[in-house]
Structure 1
Amino acid sequence: MSVAALPANLVTQQRRRQARITVHGKESFCLDTLSEYQSARDAAGLAPVTLDGVIRPVIEVCEFYGTVPWQLASRKVDRYFAGPGKRAQSTLRG
Structure 2
Amino acid sequence: MEICPSNSSTTSLNVDTDSISSQGKKALKEGAVQMTSLTTLLSHHRYLFLYHDTLVVSKQKGPCCFKLKEKLRLDRVWVASSNSPDSFLLGWPFCNYLVHFR
Give the TM-score taking structure 1 as reference length.
0.26
Q: Which has the larger radius of gyration?
A: 1
More strand, by proportion: 2
Q: Which has the higher contact order (CA 8 A, sep 6+)?
A: 2
Give the TM-score taking structure 2 as reference length.
0.25
More helix, by proportion: 1
